[in-house]
Amino acid sequence: MAALSPGFCAGHAPSRLPSVSGVCSWWRWRATGARSAGAMGRAPGVAAALFYGAVAALVLLGVRDVLFLYEENRCSMTYMYEYPEYLKIKLPKKISRRFPAYELYLYGEGNYAEENKNLILTGIPVLFLPGNAGSYKQVRSLGSIALRKAEDIDFKYHFNFFTVNFNEELVALYGGSLKRQTRFLHECIKVILKLYKDQEFAPSSVAIVGHSMGGLVARALLTLKNFKPEFINLLITQATPHVAPVMPLDKYLTDFYTAVNNHWILKAQDARNLTILSVAGGFRDYQVRSGLAFLPRLSQHSSALFVVSSAVPRTWASTDHLSIVWCKELILATIRAFFDLIDETTKQITEDPKKRMLVLNHHFVRHPAKFFEEDPETLTELKGTFIWIKIKSSKWTYTVYNESDGKYFMFPLSNHRKTHSHVHCQSSMLDTSSWIYGCLNSSSSMCLEGFDLSWKAELLPTVKVVTLKLQEYPSLSDLVVYVPAINGNKFTLDCEFFKEDSRTVQLPVTHLFSFGFSSSKIVLNSTGLIYNVQLQHFGQIYQAFKIYIESYCHPHKGRKTSVYRLHVPWSHEDSITVSKVPSFTEISAKLHIAQPENDSTVAVLNIYSSLDCQYEVTIKTSFSQVLGQVIRFHGGSLPVYVISNMLLAYGGQLSALISTGQCSDFVLALARAAKPYKVDPIVNVVKFLLGPSGLTKDSKLMTPRRAFMAILLVFVSCTTCGAFAILIIYLHYIFKVIKLHSNVRIEQNVLNKDPKHSKDTSDNSNKEIVKNCDSTETITEAAAASPTTNTAIDNVVNSLKIHITILNLLTWIVLLSLPSLIYWFKNLRYNIRLDPDPCRTMAIILVSTVGILMNSSTTKVKSSKLSKIAAQLPLPLSVAVVAFGPMHLYRVPYFVICSLLLHALCCIV
């Protein structure tokens, strides 16, 4: 091509060429315009860089809090005492042909596994369901501990743990196989029950333990038309996102959730005999936040319980998404519950929903440090040759060590009722025996009969405590504390009477935007065993605080530890911290579930202390944890806002192209056009109205070769996987853009070529051109064509800029379709065609659209009748992306395709 030398203005032009001053004026205008445009562009570019840099820093701080700043793992690992074995259950050929990728196994160890190889089973069936990419071998923790427990009782009762192999499918990313898993699960239950049909105590139902998405698949059983609800009577889910998918990446996933949740609401009577327990992992589980595992109590289905592992008695630890299946403390609570659920008559899990809920509450909500009894004998005769001691003081401490005789300490209540409202007692002896009674018939020196108040107690990590409101027990004459004869063990008993007002204080939390610079503080001056600090105005999920507790204690040898519990009354998500005294303790306060609108309760910090300690409590807003809460609850919406801003930048580039003939850089367009205030107010109105829920050288857009390529990719999407076709066209587009960028660089280098300064920038070359325009040297013939040549290069550069923006948008489409591609590739050995395919329709449209766009230029766009519409469309589309994207992420690519499709039409019309 003809090139314009930087020094051509220094020569004399031949007479046949246009005026040298005209050409030089054109170059002077071009260089001056480039400098001014650069100066104007740099200012918003710097401001945009600072703004987006600050936003990125805040996001990274939030991500750091979610992924790294959580409590240490306090779970113990479960171990197998014998080699675990998995006996494959032979399924009917019809089922095997329908579900070639799925299998059913029976877990066993040692002699137990050998005895069960003939499948003569006499136990209670429990079926374990793995979750997203989960292994069927994860059942070993439950199976091994249940086997040890059965051995302890000489196999009076025992459980047979089955497990399903779902081929480690990525069902959290691709929902197309969830219905298939549900149907296979139904077949497995029927096969399992047939294994027991000739037994004396044949079960009529199966208990299910589902991890992650396995719990949702179990709930989906009720949506099957031919499923009998009596096939399951107990469902325990571990870190299962019941409310909504973690990432709504495809239509099949969201439709599955809608079908399951709607069925449980509209047809709750189908689950009236089913008891369900949902256990969440707490803040260590950053894959499934605990709020998604919440199961609200429905009006017709009250047998549902939700609890966070940090609140489970004798566990008191947060678990990550994987450790929840092997956390020894949590598995022990689950197995104890299983054995307490057994009906001695049928030798199977009880059919009484009320008893099942009592057992689950006993082991997972409030443990009284006693073995479970369905109907405990609360009225007890206090007899035996024990020493009776009457205590009249309001505060009492007794240390037990090598007691040869049992003792009863009796507290008369008549005098205390006048001056106190409550009594609180605690014992550091964590056995399961009864230890506190309410006396009904007392003589002057002893009590003959009393209520066993030990069932009102609650187990904490270092003590068991009981707090009674005296007004609720008007018939009691005395309180009796029992100290057994003991040898070698040392423990402490404490009791105190108090007024509720003296131990309940209100502490308003600091404002969200105080950023930790201000604080609220209280000093608990009175010494006592218990304090209740009410955290006023603490009920939203975006709130996060640091609570500092400093204890001051009198010197005392062998002092007990203090227990701090953050109690959230509207959900079972308590967290417990044990601290030595005196000490300085830091506690994080944040919520998994926001306070319901009709709930008037208050979050409370319970302090269980020693009698001789005083406390100072300080609360501050933790800005980093606030950011963590935002990421935890709204991080999934980040792609939505990124794509929305990119659409705005895309529209800005098209507008600039139409108005000025020049296409701005993507970064500059992003800084100018991506304004949140353009989108968010309209989104709020929409939500309010809707309610909850080398390219340019070929001027032909389509050639036989390109048509064949498009048809081939459509065929690929229909016969294999739509996401695969999208990836191919995306890689093809990248190659085209790279080639175009290379051509632009070559042509610009030729244009700016200077023998003396071959490495000068274009700005320096432009300055030299303007400078040399004052000389009188000859201009070459090539100079006459230079304005036209540079216009062509400008068009190519504009095309490159718009193609880079389109490529950025396509990148997000590829990322959002990637889960389907991974699932298809992982299961390729079973079926070459992904069915159902959430990306097939999108791929067919995108292949045709991108095939036109990759061969388009900005020249045709500027002259199109649809160009103004194409420039204005990205704004409403970006509004739609933000409005609908967070709950239906799979819809976002379709909004992007709408804009690209109109751009493609501009190249034709």
Residue linked to tokens 């007692």: 425
| Cα–Cα distance for residue pair 524/170, rounded to 1 Å | 52
Nearest to 192 by CA among 146, 125, 130, 137: 125
Q: Which among 205, 212, 434, 799 is annotated as catalytic?
A: 212
Residues ≥6 apart with Cβ < 8 Å to 859: 795
* Side chain identity at residue 40, one-letter code: M
Rg of the chain over all Cα atoms, to the nearest angstrom: 36
| Cα–Cα distance for residue pair 526/555, rounded to 1 Å | 17
| Cα–Cα distance for residue pair 653/374, rounded to 1 Å | 72
Q: Label residue 412 left, alpha or beta by phi (over 0 means left) and psi (-120 to 50 means alpha).
A: beta
Residue linked to tokens 């008549």: 414
Nearest to 854 by CA among 806, 820, 783: 806
| Phi, psi (rounded to 5 degrees) for 635 | -60, -30
Measured between its terminal Cα atoms, the distance across the chain in Å is 31
| Cα–Cα distance for residue pair 583/396, rounded to 1 Å | 24
212 is catalytic: yes
DSSP string, 804-844: HHHHHHHHHHHHHHHHHHHHHHHTTTT-SS-SS-TTHHHHH
Half-sphere exposure in the Cβ direction for 557 (13 Å, CA): 1
Q: How far is CA 505 from CA 124, 314, 394, 604, in A?
A: 50, 28, 21, 10
404: helix, strand or coil: coil
| Cα–Cα distance for residue pair 200/408, rounded to 1 Å | 49
Residues ≥6 apart with Cβ < 8 Å to 649: 666, 669, 670, 673, 674, 805
Three-class secondary structure assignment of 37-104:
HHHHHHHHHHHHHHHHHHHHHHHHHHHHHHHCCCCCCCCCECCCCCCEEEEECCCCHHHHHHCCCCEE
87 contacts 116 by C-beta, under 8 angstroms: yes
720: helix, strand or coil: coil
Angle between helices 786-826 and 892-906 (to 10 degrees): 150
757: helix, strand or coil: coil
249 contacts 208 by C-beta, under 8 angstroms: no
Sign of the CA dihedral running 381, 385, 386, 389: positive
Nearest to 489 by CA among 565, 433, 415, 566: 433
Q: Label residue 316 left, alpha or beta by phi (over 0 means left) and psi (-120 to 50 means alpha).
A: left
Nearest to 637 by CA among 450, 467, 381, 889: 889
| Cα–Cα distance for residue pair 564/508, rounded to 1 Å | 18
816 contacts 797 by C-beta, under 8 angstroms: no
222 contacts 141 by C-beta, under 8 angstroms: no
Residues in the chain: 909
The residue ranges of DSSP E strands in 251-317, in sequence order, are 275-280, 304-308
Task: Give the CA angle between residues 388, 394, 399 to the nearest 5°.
Answer: 55
Residues with a catalytic annotation lie at 212
